[in-house]
Amino acid sequence: MPKSYRDGLPISPDKFVDQLMRLKRGSISRRDFLGLTGLGVATAVMARELGIMPTPAFAAESLGDRMSIATWPNYHDPQTFENFKADTGVAVEVNVFGSNEEMLAKLQAGGSGWSLFVPTNYTISTYKKLGIIEALDMAKLGNFDGKSEDARFTAEGTIDGTTYAVPKNWGTTGFAVNTKKLAKPMSSWKEFWDTAMAEGDGRTMVHDYQLTTIGNALKYYGYSFNSLKQDELAKAEELLLKVKPHLFAVSSDYQPGMRAGDAWMTMCWTNDGAQLHRDIPEIAYVLGKEGGEIWTDFYAIPKDAPNKPAGYALLNYLMNPKVAVKEHLANGAPSTDARVNALLPKEVLDNPILYPAADLLKPLEFGAAATLTDPGRAELMARFKSA
Amino acid sequence: MSETGDKPDQDNATGGRKSAGSQPAFPMRGSLFRKNLMTALLLAPAALWLVVFLVLPFVAIAIFSVGERAPEGGYQAALTFAQYANLPARATAFWNTMLLAPVGALACLLVAYPVAYYLALRAPQRWRLILLALIVIPFWTSLLMRTYAWMYILGGRGIPALLAYVGIEDLRLINTPGAVLLGIVYGYLPLMILPIYVSLERLDRRLLEASADLGATPLSTFLGVTLRLSLPGVMTGFSLVMILLLGEYLIPTLLGGGKVFFIGNALVDLFLQSRNWPFGSAIAITLVLVSVVVLIVANRISTRLSGARRVDLI
């Protein structure tokens, strides 16, 4: 017998509306209505799992049976989506991306099919300008608590008082070193680039991402990570072209190379650094003392999301501190939410990879929207890659 | 020896001009109009397919290519040839591709020919089908998966780890030009083997006997008869692999570490990273034109080498 998507549903949409009309007319009681439509069970499950009663709007909407999310590699606890499916019946398809531009390109082209995605701070204003993300209906996000968020990380999600994105986690961009292969202690971007051309020859990876690769090359000279100045970029290009023949790879997928021991040093985001260090203790995570990048990843909903109710439901689910804490333990990135920090074990909060010392954080810069969309930097990256 | 008389079916393989005139007449039923209508109806599905999946996308790309990059990336309408004037900015990528495509196809050919030769002329009949299946079956798995498998085989925990047991330390295989070439040969081998196999399989064995009877050495028989008659297959395989390689980006990215930049990589970056769609479109159009030229040249060479004599006879 052919399987229909309706098979898994407790009640058909037509019947649901029938029953709802009966309830409105008063011909059945509220309890009968909940029982007949299956909402009673659903509500009970949700209330238990989410720790709150769902908002009425949430309960009345059909969530469908599938949705898709666009996110980053190694970024979630797979169990989170399994649990969400068990609670709501909505299967989550996970699409993994390598860069914000790629996500932006897919959304610009339309029909991405995502009901939730994970943009980084500096892209949100561009999404808003292009009119491709939803102004979030905060009433549907009962689990989000703005007061418990660290404003330093969350500010870019709100534009002119309207919230377009809520934070997932923050992090930094440093570099990971296999200290067994490269024993010399390092603490700066200058050392990173110099080592790449010496002891780390043929074993160093940089991101396939202009924002960080050019930004961290600018740091060699102490320029701003976001610089758009011609002369500063020219210096960065000179360095990049000099380093290019010594590189192992230009790729943002650096975990396999580092784990296999093919690469000894790589540009690295906090969460990957924490994961690599957790599994292979000799891999250290270093923040350049000249500075570099600090970032926040957000959750946002595309305007053309095919299943907005499920997008909101999953987002609200992920905002539950009890769920979020598991995400942080799995992906290793620090949380923006005081409620989540309160639930994290002490050794996580004391981990300097996740929560670096204040003097290391101070010189870090948030990436700017103009840095990402600058055509000059894009062409510089193309010249670097084709050199 | 009348080659045309012996092997009429070869005309199809080489696109020989003779067959065009000898089409069986369409059975006349009703008026000429009805016949034409019938032909049109029969052609309609194929034509529709071509329009929807080839012509329309091509037109869209052509329109994009004379546009401008919008400030936030993407496309905004314009009529300018600035994108085409900017093509030299990707000269390295074009050059790398023009080098990779023929070298990769040649490497493929050198591996594929002996395999096809064995399959068609030497392998026992009862094994032939199984061996062919073994060549085709890996093709059912996505190229991405198979290339990832090579990443692990060539990576530090693969062959280098085994070599470390015999004392060869810190050898790096992955992200080298050799790894890219290996990936290309591996990925495209079936596309090269099959056309060569087909042309060799149809080879009239009596020609080989005749050549030997007339005193030719095995080598000159191979060069003068076998290789020559299989050239249409070789050229088909070669142009097939070469055209696919012109657009290749996955293997250089995964096995070359993204350090070598091909035109395919330039396209991916322009559409997905810097979102300069008009420039990407201009490059795509140029790439299509280059592919067409490659096809025409390959076809010419193939006709000249193998079919010239027959054409002269007519």
Could you read off the pLDDT of B175-197 as tens digits, one per residue?
988 899 999 999 999 999 999 99
SS3 of residue A149 by DSSP: strand
Q: Which pLDDT belongs to residue A25? A: 54
Same domain, B154 and B296: yes
Alpha carbon distances (Å) from A151 to A145, A166, A354:
12, 11, 18
Same domain, A233 and A378: yes
* Interface contacts A/B by beta carbons within 8 Å: 99
Query: Are the C-beta atoms of residues A226 and A164 closer than 8 Å to each other?
Result: no
Q: Residues near B189 by Cβ (< 8 Å), separated by ≥ 6?
A: B108, B111, B112, B115, B135
Segments forming the whole domain that contains residue A270: 171-295+350-386
Residue B131 inside a domain? The answer is: yes
Domain count of the fold of chain A: 3
CB contact under 8 A, A210 and B90: no
Same domain, A244 and A380: yes
CB contact under 8 A, A105 and B271: yes
Q: Which pLDDT belongs to residue A176? A: 97
**What is the b/e burial string over A237-252, where b = at least 16 CB atoms within 10 angstroms of the residue's CB?**
bebbeebbebbbbbbb
The mean per-residue pLDDT over the stretch B135-157 comes to 88
ipTM tops the 0.95 cut? no
- pLDDT at residue B97 above 80? yes
Query: Are the C-beta atoms of residues A263 and A270 closer than 8 Å to each other?
Result: no
Give the one of B156, B265, B272 whose C-beta lies nearest to A260's C-beta.
Answer: B156
Residue B140 inside a domain? The answer is: yes
Segments forming the whole domain that contains residue B141: 66-313
Q: Please tell me which residue, A384 or B273, carries the higher pLDDT value.
A: A384
User: Which residues from chain B sit within 8 angstroms of residue A243, using beta carbons?
Assistant: none
Give the residue on A whose Cα is nearest the Cα of B268. A102
What's this model's pTM, rounded to 2 decimal places? 0.78
- pLDDT at residue B6 above 80? no
Q: Which residue pairs from A34-39 have beta carbons closer than 8 angstroms and sit at least 24 positions apart in sequence?
A: A36/A11, A37/A10, A37/A11, A38/A10, A38/A11
Same domain, B73 and B200: yes
Could you read off the pLDDT of B229-257 as tens digits, one per residue?
888 899 889 989 998 998 898 898 899 88
Residue B150 inside a domain? The answer is: yes
User: Which residues from chain B sit within 8 angstroms of residue A379, using beta carbons?
Assistant: 89, 274
Same domain, A120 and A89: yes
Same domain, A144 and A225: no
Q: Which pLDDT belongs to residue B16? A: 42
Residue B11 inside a domain? The answer is: no
Residue B16 inside a domain? The answer is: no
The mean per-residue pLDDT over the stretch B255-277 comes to 88
Q: Does B206 touch chain A (CB under 8 A)?
A: no
Q: Measured between alpha carbons, how far is A367 from B277 in angstroms, rounded to an integer?
A: 24
CATH of the domain at A305: 3.40.190.10
